[in-house]
Amino acid sequence: MANNCLAFLAFPGEIRNILYSLLLVVPPPSTTTALGETPHIHPEILRVNRQIYYEALPFLYAQNTFIAHPVRLYRFPQLRRWIDPVLAPHLIALIRRYHVFVRLECDAGFSAEAARDAFSGVEELTVEVFQSQFKGSGNGVLRLFEGVRGVRRARVFGSIGEWPEYVAWLQSTMMSNEGSDLSVGSRGSKGVDGLETFSHMLESVQLAA
């Protein structure tokens, strides 16, 4: 095992990064994902040694898109709905890509301030919109995202045919520069506290090999 590890670390960093991506990054979630589909993901590589742990951990959390909690938003994110949520704050802080499912005919369960604090400054935010019937609801739930700023890539899609101009404006607004009154500090920025934290990651996420 030790010899295999040394052989792997002898590869150039660019090659190791490609392998980490193949082992740890899965397609983004969506309503078209097959029910019970298990991502082909292999977090066991993080157990090999400390160097690989630190190199590979950002691929698992920063490069994957996580489903936001319907009420708590960035708290309790899930890689898939049937996979246990991430609980450790220092691992949640690594997540930079979120997918939010919203129903237009239901109360959102979160405030505009909560959406702003949860998603301002993230790498990618996808808001997937659906409703039970065409023209059955207004866009009040979408308006909760109007305070989000500094998103590198924002996308709103789904049941949005009634408001194409508003959706285009909302996407542009979320990708505009953050204002001084916006707070993203609540997301936390604590770093990884050593190799032993990997066991907690497995307990929280329970990703299938």
Residue 51, strand partner residues: none
Q: pLDDT exceeding 70 applies to what percent of the chain?
A: 77
Mean pLDDT of 71-77: 93
Separation between Cα atoms, residue 148 and residue 94, nearest integer Å:
19
* Residue 77 maps to a domain: no
14 within a domain of the structure (yes/no): yes
The gap from C-alpha 83 to its chain's centroid, in whole angstroms, comes to 14
Residue 40 token pair? 């082909």
Residue 72 resides in a domain: no
146-163 pLDDT, tens per residue? 999 999 999 999 988 888
pLDDT at residue 20, as a whole number:
96
Residue 76 lies in a domain: no
Tell whether 207 and 147 lie within a shared domain: no
The number of folded domains in the chain is: 2
Question: Domain for residue 74, yes or no?
Answer: no
Are 111 and 151 within one domain?
yes
Are 102 and 183 members of one domain? yes
Q: Is residue 166 a part of any domain in this protein?
A: yes
Each residue of 28-68: pLDDT tens digit? 987 555 555 667 889 999 999 999 999 999 999 999 999 99
Whether the per-residue pLDDT at 185 is higher than 70: the answer is no
| First-residue to last-residue Cα distance in the chain | 19
pTM, full prediction: 0.79
Let me know whether 166 and 203 are in one domain. no
pLDDT tens string 90-127:
999 999 999 999 988 888 889 999 999 999 999 999 99
Q: Which domain holds residue 150?
A: 98-187
